Structure 1
Amino acid sequence: MIKGIDLTVLFGPGVPLPAPRAVIEALQSVKIEENSGEVQSGFELVFALEKNSPLNTLFLLAGGAALPILRVALVATMNGQAISLMNGVVTKADLAPGAGGAPATLSVKGKDLTATMETFDFSGLPYPAMPPFARVALVLAKYAWLGVIPQVIPSMESAPLPTEKIPRHQDSDLAYIRALAAEAGYTFFLKPGPAPATSFAYWGPEIRIGEVQPALTVDSGFATNCDELSFSFDKSEFEIPIVFIQNPQTKAPIPIPIPSAIPFLPPLGLVPPLPPKINRMKDTARLNPFEAVARGFARAAQRSDAVRGQGSIDVVRYGRILRARNLVGVRGAGMAFDGIHYIDSVTHDLSRGSYTQKFTLKRSGLLPSSPSVAV
């Protein structure tokens, strides 16, 4: 579609296969939303539909006339490196008839594989003597045939004794996994890769460490590689959580303030804002001290991002594909906002001859914590 960048489209039931040439030639544009946290990632494929096109069959399949699940995998190859952008299923198809000799337009929309986890309600299924992470691993095991690879990080919560309590499944698989993540202070998402038609299912703390992608540069002459970039600073949601643990002898609650320094979230900003409010987490008194402190750290992590940014890039000019849930450097935005940021979401827009990305960034404070960023 673009010089130096190739897009591979795979679709089909079970194991998706490369799309035939007629389908690729009819493809007009691709949009992929890659999100973190609770927002599902999704995609949209737009085709020019001729009367005798094989895409008519695709439309029937996408509409659910013959298959319960139609899988779609999208892979971009840039500089010889294949990058899996989406591994999902079709959830909706729209057909707009052509007019004045123009072909009809077929729009195929879908979500990542979390959509398959909303289909059935397994309420009541028992999990005797299983801690939360073991329950999550067992739930994800049933999606191995879709290429889902579990990445489950054990939480602080211990397994309840069967003589006292037997946990039971509530609602759909996705709702139950997210509920367990919220209780542990974790996040859950599916990340495409490492191979086409596979995905990592991550259940664990939101980690902001690792490789830093090349800097987004603005207002720097020939080094500029970012079309738009703006930032905002809002500390209204920033807070200090206070967890309560209970003394088993006296039954007296003991308050423990949670510091802003979180082990798995190193400060990307050098100067965090002063917290305008305090949150007393009284529901932690029933937990053991380790579980209570872990939940406090999770709450602090969710409320620690006072700096937000958004912008757009041309992928060819930037030189690589920007990925969500990773770190990226910023240059030229001013001393307050330069440095390393966490990429919260990315929207890919591909059409013939064009590949642009819109993104949102976040971090805890002002001023860079690192004196330099990768170029």
Structure 2
Amino acid sequence: MKIKTFKVEQWMNDYENDAVYNLGETCIDSMTLGELIELSGQNPEKYLAALKDKRMTYSHIYGSPELLNGISGLYRDILPSHVIPAHGAVGANHQVIISMIEPKDNMVSVMPTYQQHYSIPESIGAEVRILQLTPEKRFLPDLDLLRSLVDENTKMITINNPDNPTGSWIPEDVMMEIVEIARSVNAYILSDEVYRGISEDGSYMVSIADLYEKGISVGSMSKIFSLAGLRMGWIASRSQEVIDACRKRRDYDTISCGVLDDLFASLALANKEKIFERNSKILLKNRAILDQWVNETPEVSYIKPVAGTTALVYYKKDMPSYELCIKLLKDKGVLFTPGSCFEMEGCVRIGYAFDSKTLREGLDKFTELLREI
């Protein structure tokens, strides 16, 4: 099976360690284990000392009760039995697509999005139909276009909500229209929701798993929980067909997740409100810094992100995005992600959810480069 190079991951692998100002990072400012344990109200030294007696056997094959209860609590209508832990969201997305899609199928994927959603089904031999998101529609799906793309052989529609890289968020009324389109052809909806959970106003962010009986939500501890090092993700769905198919496949590529990943993810989920309070402050502060910079910099423009941790910023220079990002890294020490990693040009993805000083200085360095070109 041949598969295309994963452009965004290869870019980060090649260049992330060279950055002085890493604005390619998409996780909210990562926590240490000590911070997580303190946040849970426990003494880190005592807690970690007690772990010396933790036996390094397989964890619960389908996830511990604490983990499954914690994940199901992120949804309205998901039970612990509707949850399958995975090795990060990357493992969850792969497991869903490889379990549910066959060469005879077609599927619809939004673009831009995480490359798994179109390159994995292409590698299987399925037909992938692209639903292009545009700034003119604020990077929300064009429902008329979606209706024209589906037919009786459409097995799945995949969305990224909140969207990576644009930071758009599909409102519930639009989501319900997408559900009706999927239902009309009996298609699943796979929603990559790794950036879901922290809204601008603190309200609940509805999931596809809440809205649709054939909805499949993928989440992880990486982005909004600031715990990418745990490599813990999950699949959540009320569809028993999905649960059965993914568990069957899981015996071949997962077996179980790590016992320590499960333990610390359960601890974080039990204290999610404290983590969300911490991370909401970081997000809102830095989103305001990014917005002020865009408004004060005539060389750039964007559709302001309303969710997630990333923004797609357009620049007014006649230079390919890959070339621009290489020059920015070499000349200024700033890492962005080229728009070409998302099959787009004239733009870059900026991650803004870490320390504010790095963000401000990195954006200023980008302004310097744009004015030097």
TM-score bracket relative to the smaller structure: under 0.3
- Write 1 or 2 for the structure with the bigger share of strand: 1
Query: Larger RCO: Structure 1 or Structure 2 (Cα < 8 Å, ≥ 6 residues apart)?
Result: 2
State the TM-score, normalizing by the size of structure 1.
Answer: 0.25
